[in-house]
Amino acid sequence: MPAFASDGTVNCPFPAAWIEFFNADKNQWPANAYRTPDCSASREHSHGSFVAALPDGSFPPVFLWDEISYRVVAKGADGSVVATINRVTADAEFVSVAAPEPAPEPQSEPVIDLAAENEALRRRIAELEAIEAPLLPAPDALMSDYGPVGGDDITGDMLLDAFEEDEAETVAVVQTLSALRLKHLSEQLNVERARLDREHQATGVANPRSASIDRLLGLLTRRGEV
């Protein structure tokens, strides 16, 4: 694909400070990108959900897991979106985001301190690199392998069981969860949803639990937007 060369090197034609990766089919949740072709979820092989530019403006190699439909967003040093790929395919290309109408030029042009701009960009990249992005489970993981969320014993499996037994009570529980916990629970449910999709494709029989997962993911997403 033009956006990612065969050796895994990112080929972004727009000046960007970093590139973010999302799951295009799962409520736009962040999705892992990888340093190696085997797409291992271990920290030394994973970029997390974003890749920062190198000091020369280029990007390190990036590999994507072929079981996820990715959306890619390239951002400038100020955090503004400069280009996107709404869905990565074999012929996908970055699409530039139209810049706003420029303001009228002042009488005298301001002097831009390029050294200060570069230093601010380096600091921002260092901040991004220091962030430990949450890692998704390995591609063959089960939801039960992901472990408890936060300091208590709530897992995606437990929340799904409770939701199917008493939806109203589960809604009340969800209202008390932090944004980080909501995100982790959603990641667990997305793993289970993907497993059920693979099972459906293999057997031709849909699992009714998939519908419950979709409804619960919708509830978590709405709660996260409040």
Q: What would the pLDDT profile of 102-161 be if each residue is shown by its tens digit?
A: 666 666 667 778 888 888 888 888 887 776 555 554 544 444 444 444 445 678 888 888
Q: What pLDDT, in 10s, does the model give residues 51-95?
A: 888 877 778 888 888 888 888 888 888 888 888 888 887 777 777
Distance, first Cα to last Cα, the chain: 37
For residues 155 and 162, what is the distance between their CA atoms, to the nearest angstrom? 11
pLDDT of residue 88: 82
Nearest to 211 by CA among 224, 226, 196, 191: 196
In a domain, 132, yes or no: no
Is residue 129 included in any domain, yes or no? no
- Pair (115, 150) in one structural domain: no
Q: Residue 158 — φ and ψ, nearest 5°?
A: -65, -40
Q: Do 22 and 120 sit in the same domain of this protein?
A: yes
Over the stretch 176-189, which tens digit does the pLDDT of each residue have?
888 888 888 888 88
Does 130 map to a domain? no
State whether 163 and 93 are in the same domain: no
Q: Is the pLDDT of residue 17 over 60?
A: yes
Both 180 and 218 in one domain: the answer is: yes
Co-location of 152 and 120 in the same domain: no
pLDDT at position 33 over 50? yes
Is 56 among the domain residues? yes
Mean pLDDT of 9-30: 77
| 26 shares its domain with 116 | yes
Q: Are residues 149 and 193 in the same domain?
A: yes
SS3 at position 220: helix
Residue 1 CA to residue 4 CA, distance in Å, equals 6
Beta pairing class for 18-23 and 50-52: antiparallel
Whole-model pTM above 0.95? no
CA distance 216 to 78: 35
Looking at the structure, tell me whether residues 189 and 219 fall in a common domain: yes
Same domain, 203 and 118: no
- Per-residue pLDDT, 52: 85
Q: Whole-angstrom Cα distance, residue 2 to residue 22?
A: 18
CB of 68 closer than 8 Å to CB of 136 = no
Higher pLDDT, 140 or 172: 172
Report the domain count for the chain: 2
**Pair 120, 147 in one domain:** no
Same domain, 66 and 120: yes
- Residue 131 within a domain: no
Per-residue pLDDT, 83: 82
Domain residues for 218? Answer: 143-225
Residue 95 located in a structural domain: yes
Cα 132 to Cα 26, 74, 160, distances in angstroms: 22, 19, 28
Nearest one of 19, 17, 13 to 126, comparing CA atoms? 17
Looking from the CA of 16 toward its CB, the CA atoms found within 13 Å total 25
Residue 78 lies in a domain: yes
118 and 206 co-located in one domain: no
Residue 209 included in any domain: yes
